[in-house]
């Protein structure tokens, strides 16, 4: 049997807490057996390393270990990738392929993010597990197989079984042994030992002799909730290590703040330039089509135009494109075009210091977005004349408007969004053809929430975890009856409305299990979604009620209320301007 790679043990299975000792005990049991293993846990908890540990401690250690990222395989290629195909089995199959299962024969195959496998392929996977034989695409012969299957998921298993996106019989077949890895916030007492292991590994790799972290730093580390789990802790320590010149780490390279950005790190979405007052797109709730469009747009520097109803998550899509792009290290600057008076657009975009003989200094949005991304929200609100000017500027070699004293930055990405009908906007000239041409390198349409009802449980769970993380409370579950109401509702306000509803329900439930009676009354009504329904008015009523509640909790402090609701301060002012007067304490 091969010796275990020490980095596997150092990274994620170290700890004296009862939770980690239980994980360790289950790993030993799994390594001694031959059955399938299912590993569950949040992103960053080390599911892949637990799988490697089981393999290297098993009787298969000298044989192949084949990791498979199921989330990265296109839906139409799953069967071929897993089970192989014969030459000519389909268009483009010019050679015979063995497939990943045969590559892992006599060893272990690790199916990471198992819940991403399409239902039709799940049926065939179940048959392979039962009969230990595979039949490649285009073949009439079955091939015997000797392979141990280890699967992992970061999703709530009860939820995926409930919404039938994962087969129950496959779940029971995979889970002969189920290992749940707790998030780091549930075993903070293990942090000193983990930190020591990370430093020891870095010392070996970089041939240094850092002794450890200062006690004050360790105190900060053990008080933080670590939404990105052990992976985030490792990144923080490595960052601090690289900038340490003495024998002890006396400062961290990042600020540990309990905010939305911290939660984002738990899904691997790290970008220090992102505004913590905004939400982010949960990758496990994205459709495959949307994920591919985002990935394609991120690889290019061409303009992007996002279309969709209000509240569908255009900010989140824009941020995800920015995060995956080469501009990720730069700022992500949002321009709420629908809140800027027409006569102030030039000043807001270009800054007043760009004009000759201007007193004072104001850096415009374009300069603020240098080396990053400029996100134009409701782009059709930009005056037509300014749109034409922008289209000429972005296409020209020289980025200096007439009358300006210096060039505008050219190193920035432009992403725009509109909720308006594109054809009508072009016809009525609320969107200039030239500007549209500049922006239309990629056009991404975001579906409404009612068009993707199967994703509502994932989005709801995301917002529950997000708000719970902000309040440093355990994330409660949503009762099946409440989930049924959430799924049946047509969501005229889309994701925006859903996040307000979840916020209110969490407050009503005091962060306990969300029951149906914690939801607003309108979710229990049979809704008509035709033009006669005043759905926008109902959405405004929900928003205003939650805003007033937030203002009461913060004694009228608008900045704190914005942070509590997860929206910008400017959005709070806009909501107040459109609301009837309410008596608020201290406001």
CATH class of the domain whose range is 283-445? alpha beta
Secondary-structure breakdown of the chain: helix, strand, coil percentages, each rounded to the nearest 5: 50, 10, 40
Query: Which whole number is the average pLDDT over 500-505?
Result: 86
Q: Do residues 415 and 460 touch, judged by C-beta distance below 8 A?
A: no
Q: Encoding tokens for residue 125? A: 């996977």
Mean pLDDT across the chain: 78
Q: CA angle at residue 332 from 331 to 336, to 5 degrees?
A: 135
Confidence of residue 398 (pLDDT cuts 50, 70, 90): very low
Backbone dihedral angles phi then psi of residue 406, each to the nearest 5 degrees: -150, 160
92/167 Cα distance (integer angstroms):
31
pLDDT digits (tens, 9 = 90+) for 430-479: 888 878 878 888 888 888 888 888 888 888 888 888 888 777 788 899 99
The residue ranking higher by pLDDT, 392 or 361, is 392
Confidence of residue 407 (pLDDT cuts 50, 70, 90): low
Query: Which whole number is the average pLDDT over 240-265?
Result: 66
- Of 117-126, 350-359, 535-544, which has the strongest mean pLDDT? 117-126
pLDDT digits (tens, 9 = 90+) for 61-110: 999 999 988 877 777 788 888 888 777 656 665 677 888 999 999 999 99
Distances (CA, A) of 209 to 245, 252, 463, 495: 11, 18, 43, 50
Distances (CA, A) of 12 to 44, 49, 366: 9, 7, 43
**Is it the case that residue 323 has pLDDT exceeding 80?**
yes
Q: Encoding tokens for residue 102? A: 């045969």
534/223 Cα distance (integer angstroms):
47
Residue where the block lists tokens 């307000």: 500
Nearest to 262 by CA among 490, 461, 69, 466: 466
505/481 Cα distance (integer angstroms):
14
Q: Please tell me the predicted confidence (pLDDT) of residue 438.
A: 80
Q: Please tell me the predicted confidence (pLDDT) of residue 562.
A: 65
Q: CA angle at residue 465 from 462 to 468, to 5 degrees?
A: 145
Q: CA angle at residue 500 from 334 to 154, to 5 degrees?
A: 85
The residue ranking higher by pLDDT, 503 or 4, is 503
**Is it the case that residue 581 has pLDDT exceeding 60?**
no
pLDDT digits (tens, 9 = 90+) for 170-198: 988 888 888 999 889 889 999 999 999 89
Q: Where are the domains of the chain?
A: 6-182, 185-254, 283-445, 450-577
For the ranges 178-187, 287-296, 350-359, the lowest mean pLDDT is seen at 350-359
| Answer CATH for 185-254 from 3.40.630.30, 3.20.110.20, 1.20.1250.20, 1.10.8.60 | 1.10.8.60
Confidence of residue 424 (pLDDT cuts 50, 70, 90): confident
Q: How buried is 515 (Cβ within 10 angstroms: 0-12 exposed, 13-18 middle, 19+ buried)?
A: middle
Q: Please tell me the predicted confidence (pLDDT) of residue 475.
A: 85
Fold match between domain 185-254 and domain 450-577: yes
Q: Is the dihedral of CA 292, 159, 147, 45 positive or negative?
A: positive
pLDDT digits (tens, 9 = 90+) for 204-248: 888 999 999 999 899 989 888 887 788 888 888 888 888 788 899
Q: What is the pTM of this model?
A: 0.47
Portion of the chain with pLDDT greater than 90, in percent: 17
Helices assigned H by DSSP within 224-344: 229-242, 260-265, 288-298, 314-324
- Name the CA radius of gyration of the chain, rounded: 26
The neighbouring-strand residues paired with 127 are none
**Is it the case that residue 46 has pLDDT exceeding 90?**
no
CATH of domain 6-182: 3.40.50.300
97/80 Cα distance (integer angstroms):
8
Backbone dihedral angles phi then psi of residue 268, each to the nearest 5 degrees: 85, 5
User: Hey, what CATH topology would domain 450-577 get?
Assistant: Helicase, Ruva Protein; domain 3 (1.10.8)
């Amino acid at each position: 049997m091969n010796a275990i790679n020490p980095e596997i043990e150092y990274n994620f299975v170290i700890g004296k807490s009862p939770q980690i000792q239980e994980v360790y005990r289950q790993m030993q049991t799994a390594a001694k057996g031959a059955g399938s293993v299912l590993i569950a846990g949040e992103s960053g908890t080390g599911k892949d390393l637990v799988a490697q540990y089981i393999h290297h401690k098993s009787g298969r250690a000298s044989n192949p270990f084949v990791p498979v990222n199921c989330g990265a395989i296109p839906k139409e290629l799953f069967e071929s990738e897993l089970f192989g195909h014969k030459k000519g089995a389909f268009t483009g199959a010019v050679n015979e392929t063995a497939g990943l299962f045969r590559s892992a024969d006599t060893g272990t195959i690790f199916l990471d993010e198992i819940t991403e496998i399409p239902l039709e392929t799940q049926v065939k996977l179940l048959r392979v597990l039962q009969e230990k034989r595979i039949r490649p695409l285009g073949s009439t012969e079955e091939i015997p197989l000797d392979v141990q299957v280890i699967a992992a998921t970061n999703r709530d298993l009860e939820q995926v079984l409930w919404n039938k996106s994962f087969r129950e019989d496959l779940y029971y077949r995979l889970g002969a042994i189920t290992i749940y890895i707790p998030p780091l916030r549930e075993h903070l007492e293990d942090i000193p030992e983990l930190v020591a292991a990370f430093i020891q590994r870095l010392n070996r790799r970089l041939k240094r002799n850092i002794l450890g972290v200062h006690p004050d730093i360790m105190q900060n580390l053990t008080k933080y909730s670590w939404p990105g789990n052990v992976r985030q802790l490792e990144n923080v320590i490595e960052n601090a290590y690289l900038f340490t010149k003495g024998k002890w780490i006396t400062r961290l390279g990042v600020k540990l703040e309990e905010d939305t950005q911290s939660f984002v790190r738990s899904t691997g979405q790290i970008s220090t330039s992102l505004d913590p007052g905004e939400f982010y797109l949960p990758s496990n709730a994205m459709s495959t089509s949307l994920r591919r469009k985002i990935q394609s747009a991120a690889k290019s520097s061409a303009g992007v135009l996002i279309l969709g109803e209000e509240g569908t998550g255009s900010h989140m899509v824009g941020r995800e494109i920015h995060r995956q792009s080469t501009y990720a290290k730069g700022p992500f600057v949002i321009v709420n075009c629908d809140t800027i008076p027409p006569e102030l657009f030039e000043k807001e975009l270009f800054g007043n210091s760009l004009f000759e003989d201007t007193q004072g200094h104001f850096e415009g949005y374009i300069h603020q977005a240098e080396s990053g991304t400029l996100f134009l929200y409701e782009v059709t609100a930009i005056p037509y004349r300014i749109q034409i000017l922008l289209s000429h500027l972005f296409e020209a070699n020289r980025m200096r408007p007439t009358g300006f004293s210096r060039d505008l930055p050219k190193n920035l990405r432009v992403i725009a969004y509109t909720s308006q009908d594109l054809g009508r906007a072009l016809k009525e000239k609320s969107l200039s053809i030239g500007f549209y041409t500049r922006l239309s390198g990629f056009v991404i349409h975001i579906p409404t929430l009612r068009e993707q009802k199967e994703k509502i449980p994932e989005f709801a769970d995301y917002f529950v975890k997000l708000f719970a993380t902000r309040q440093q409370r355990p994330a409660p579950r949503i009762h099946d009856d409440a989930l049924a109401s959430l799924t049946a509702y047509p969501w005229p306000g889309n994701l925006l409305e859903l996040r307000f509803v979840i916020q209110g329900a969490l407050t009503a439930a005091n962060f306990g299990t969300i029951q149906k009676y914690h939801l607003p009354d309108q979710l229990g009504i049979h809704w008509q979604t035709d033009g006669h329904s005043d759905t926008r008015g109902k959405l405004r009523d929900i928003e205003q009620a939650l805003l007033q509640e937030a203002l009461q909790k913060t004694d009228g402090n608008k900045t704190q209320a914005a942070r509590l609701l997860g929206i910008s301060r400017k959005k709070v002012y806009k909501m107040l301007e459109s609301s009837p007067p309410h008596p608020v304490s201290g406001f």
